Amino acid sequence: MSSDRSADGDAEGTITRQRPIYTESQVIMTTVKVVIPFVLTYGLFITFHGTSSPGGGFQGGALIASVVLMIAFAFGIESTRAWLSNTLVVGLGTVGVAIFAAIALIPMALGGDFLEYTAYYPVLGDTLGLKEYEFVKYGMEAVEIGGIAFIVSGVLMGLFFALAAGFTPADLDVTGAASDAPTDEAVGDDASNAATDATGEVDAE
């Protein structure tokens, strides 16, 4: 649980990073257990209301990510990270971009413009039973949900875990934080993953 405690630095003034120690609290755990379903539902609600009413993938994605943040605070960051797995966090962000790009690029293959949702109408109109103008609405909805909500929630979780893990520079590592060494590489990767993901988020907007 509290495996992310690190050395407090050596005596001679070199300051290494101090990480918060996880304390198990019945109050926090119970509260989080009660609150989570509502927050998740609210996040999904906001996400699905992206086109015709206030809401959207960005806000909804942030709320969905906040569920994971709350779990992490209540049950320990390291155990949450292990439970969620790196693959899911990276997958959310990257697959979101892929879905967005696919929705945008397929109309070009169908002879329309980039992101022209109505280009789907001749192909999918009969199957889905939608009118041409409705494709704009549902196309946008697909981008909001499959693209932006995925990306934002994935990136926020990634950033949170990267920040929580911290970064021990190589030259500080020799001072005594050797116990951290096995996790260091993964941590560094996460941090830079998150940094580049954050830019994908701007793109999605």
Q: Give the residues lining the site for another protein (CB under 8 A).
A: 86-87, 90-91, 93-95, 97-98, 101, 104-105, 108, 112-119, 169-171, 188-189, 192-193, 195-200, 202-203, 205
> Which residue, 30 or 192, has its beta carbon nearer to another protein?
192
Least distance (Å) between residue 143 CB and another protein:
11
Least distance (Å) between residue 130 CB and another protein:
17
Helix 77-84 × helix 150-165 angle, to 10°: 140
> Which residue, 24 or 203, has its beta carbon nearer to another protein?
203
Least distance (Å) between residue 139 CB and another protein:
9
> Which residue, 14 or 196, has its beta carbon nearer to another protein?
196
Q: Is the separation of the CB atoms in 100 and 88 below 8 Å?
A: no
> Which residue, 118 or 183, has its beta carbon nearer to another protein?
118
Q: Is the separation of the CB atoms in 107 and 120 below 8 Å?
A: yes
Least distance (Å) between residue 167 CB and another protein:
9
Q: Is the separation of the CB atoms in 16 and 8 below 8 Å?
A: yes
> Which residue, 10 or 28, has its beta carbon nearer to another protein?
10
Least distance (Å) between residue 144 CB and another protein:
15
